[in-house]
Structure 1
């Protein structure tokens, strides 16, 4: 298993891992074309001398492998994708140098014609060149902020990308300066100044912009996201202008500004180291939530949270399973760091709302790394970071794992704490049973209330009594309250629904009055005696039969003398 990393953009856009996005591909090709054009212009400035061009090119290349290695030392914990590093370097060497060459040349002609040769050269070097060059170099960093913001997860990320842009710019600019010298002594002296004493000036200047870009990428505050890149670019222009203008004050001015730049450079290195420690500390903060998956244990988290422990773990894996085992451990550690950095973005409120897709990809990558190691070394020796135990590390566990629900964060999405984000559309990898929650949580469903009962068909008893507003009895309406009832024994028929007569013999109880104890409705089609009877709705009385409902005695009638009538 080769050293690899999860491609964030490929996961989110469902592309094949390792593929190059169209925008990044255009940037790489355009930068390479501009680099070739710039080298051709450099060859022309050397009066077409192949020997002068070759010597300048060699001198320009000599210090840069060591400088690139020094920059990448800051990138050991969470390496940036090589495609972004290459795009940054080629942009600085190609597009930024070509744009700066054209604008600086045109600007110097204007300033010399306006302020004279000496004044024009000073203004062009101290004012015009810093504005043009830092803008040209910072443009690609702004593009990374807009289109690759997920990759800028710390201040170190912005510093490293900016340093690569500055190194590419400084390389081509050094070749251009070397080839314009008239003698070998001048070339050698310039090499000492530019290649040995001040090789990191352009990376230093551009790092100011890179820090501003990183701040804008890490924080959700609207003002900070606008002001931080501009403030970083402003500091870059000031430092660049001080260095270019210091030559007007003699050797003393150069030394003072060089010491100032050295102090700034040391401050940037210290800032990167402190930031790296914060990233390591975030592992101990966020990864304990993934202990139930079996991918990590408390002993693993302790190992992952220490640079020394990480190095010892890689050495153990390399000694147990050879270089492939060491690369598998490196992949395991890298995915753990990426996972912690992802949760850091979630907490700051700048993560993509589809971040669970990345979380699952990082977990899958950790599982693939340990399975690769175990296939190569089925019976590994006990690791040091577990105290000699083979059971106390997730790196040596076989089988799949379950993806837990996302830990709760105070996210910046305007959602309550712990609100689960949308379910990832990333295809489920083949890593054992999963226990995915439903996203978003469904509201409880309530049963639809039953409809009002429809009238019974003609000739069938009613299953639910209808309210008895009025009914005809001997051609009269139902008597209102306080009036005499119908004659004794006369049933109160059910009010017929529209265009339907009531079933014969139906006797509903009055409203608010329940049947006496021991009564229940007779089944449809049966009479009170238990024998079938079509079209009746009589009530079946058990164990004896009574008239229902009980009829009140007839209201007495009185004559004119006040005596009751017979």
Structure 2
């Protein structure tokens, strides 16, 4: 006679795993949780140390190059940068809200999103401006200013900027694996890195435009702040998709090739966007509108793909929680709450409150951990996701008791 908690016949505790193996996995999860409550603690600490040092170095580089700009302009650049900041940062409230709305089923922790944003705003911008300035100065001295502008804009900038933004995504992929589940997460982290980068970059663009007059400033804001605020997120999301594919795959060649391929695709898109304005100069005005409309269509199509990927993520969560209902860990109503795209909003506006939101997050994390575990087992690999299954079940049970205690009578 099976012991308590053993799956009924034909039901597995980890989706796609035969019941006997699922039982072993369930027991191993309890033992692993007892021995290693935080199996990736050292990796997370190492990642935090690298992130903090990268942020500090990037901030120092930004300050140095800003001071050079202010001194070179005899102080006028400082007031212009204040104007640029007023135009660059307020729209972020809207920009940052969009990816948070899209990621409905398993939103990333706010501190992860903040880390991604700060990496893009400070580290990625600092290292990129160092490389881009060096390339621009070196090529200009040898081949003239126009060639320096062309090479730095269409070659140096795409490679350097996408590399350092992509390193932020890699940090979450490697050091914070429990917060990185697949393609959608890769896109979200890439978007926040890119929005941080674009915000700081826009300060410089708007500052230079304001020094040329209000008409130039208005035109620059309309172009960068209204029509093309999503270009940097689009470019870096290619790298994010690459790391997302690597996270979802158990094949070694995919885990290596996908991030590299995504990075090169992002570099290519970035280079194409930068090349024509740098190459054509004033003649760009004749083809600007068709060029802009083409890119807007491309961005709109990409948003459609993201929505489809988010829906797919919801299906994965539902599929890997069905056996939790059979095991008695969840009820049908609780399953629908976890899998609802408005479940968190219902909790916020209803009696479940923060406890309900935590319950939804724990349920989604459990489903995704089981998804990673089943794929790892199918590929005969090991994943730390298996260590999270038992603790997440325990957390769900505790949250469930809290919700039952506060249920309206």
Q: Does 1:264 align with 2:298?
A: yes
**Cα shift readout 1:127-161 (whole Å, capped 9, x = no counterpart):** 22111211121122223333233432121100001
Which consecutive unaligned segments of at least 5 residues does structure 1 have? 1-7, 382-566
CA distance, structure 1, for counterparts of residue 305 and residue 193 of structure 2: 19
1:314-333 paired onto structure 2 within 5 Å: 314=347, 318-319=349-350, 321=351, 325-333=352-360
Instruction: Output the aligned Cα RMSD.
Output: 2.8
Residue 10 (structure 2) aligns with: none
Superposition deviation, residue 355 in structure 1:
3.6
1:343 is matched with which residue: 357, 366, 370?
370
Shift in alpha-carbon separation, 1:41–1:299, aligned structure 2, 3 A: same
Superposition deviation, residue 83 in structure 1:
2.8
Superposition deviation, residue 14 in structure 1:
7.9
Residue 241 (structure 2) aligns with: 211
Contact 2:128–2:161 (8 Å) recurs in 1: yes
Superposition deviation, residue 11 in structure 1:
4.2
Q: Does 1:35 align with 2:62?
A: no
Shift in alpha-carbon separation, 1:302–1:61, aligned structure 2, 3 A: closer
Q: How many residues align?
A: 362
Shift in alpha-carbon separation, 1:221–1:254, aligned structure 2, 3 A: farther
> What's the secondary structure of 1:180's corresponding residue?
helix
Residue 307 (structure 1) aligns with: 341
CA distance, structure 1, for counterparts of residue 49 and residue 321 of structure 2: 35
Superposition deviation, residue 78 in structure 1:
0.7
Residue 427 (structure 1) aligns with: none
CA distance, structure 2, for counterparts of residue 131 and residue 312 of structure 1: 40
1:162 is matched with which residue: 171, 186, 190?
190
CA distance, structure 1, for counterparts of residue 171 and residue 164 of structure 2: 12
Superposition deviation, residue 173 in structure 1:
0.8
Superposition deviation, residue 25 in structure 1:
4.4
What TM-score comes out, normalization by structure 2 length? 0.80
2:163 is matched with which residue: 125, 129, 135?
135
Greater C-alpha Rg? 1
Which has more helix, going by share of residues?
Answer: 2
Contact 1:42–1:176 (8 Å) recurs in 2: no
Which consecutive unaligned segments of at least 5 residues does structure 2 have? 1-32
Residue 317 (structure 2) aligns with: 283
Superposition deviation, residue 313 in structure 1:
4.8
CA distance, structure 2, for counterparts of residue 236 and residue 75 of structure 1: 22
Residue 467 (structure 1) aligns with: none
Contact 2:104–2:310 (8 Å) recurs in 1: no
**Cα shift readout 1:308-366 (whole Å, capped 9, x = no counterpart):** 5x267526xx44x3xxx321111111111111111111222188545443112212222
Superposition deviation, residue 369 in structure 1:
2.1
CA distance, structure 2, for counterparts of residue 14 and residue 225 of structure 1: 20
Q: Relative contact order: is structure 1 or structure 2 higher (C-alpha 8 Å, sep ≥ 6)?
A: 2
Contact 1:243–1:258 (8 Å) recurs in 2: no
Shift in alpha-carbon separation, 1:209–1:14, aligned structure 2, 3 A: closer
Contact 1:295–1:367 (8 Å) recurs in 2: yes
Shift in alpha-carbon separation, 1:367–1:195, aligned structure 2, 3 A: same
Shift in alpha-carbon separation, 1:171–1:354, aligned structure 2, 3 A: closer
CA distance, structure 2, for counterparts of residue 225 and residue 374 of structure 1: 43
1:392-471 paired onto structure 2 within 5 Å: none
CA distance, structure 2, for counterparts of residue 163 and residue 133 of structure 1: 14
Q: Does 1:12 align with 2:41?
A: no
Contact 1:28–1:87 (8 Å) recurs in 2: no
Shift in alpha-carbon separation, 1:39–1:56, aligned structure 2, 3 A: farther
Shift in alpha-carbon separation, 1:196–1:338, aligned structure 2, 3 A: same
CA distance, structure 1, for counterparts of residue 113 and residue 37 of structure 2: 20
CA distance, structure 1, for counterparts of residue 40 and residue 162 of structure 2: 35
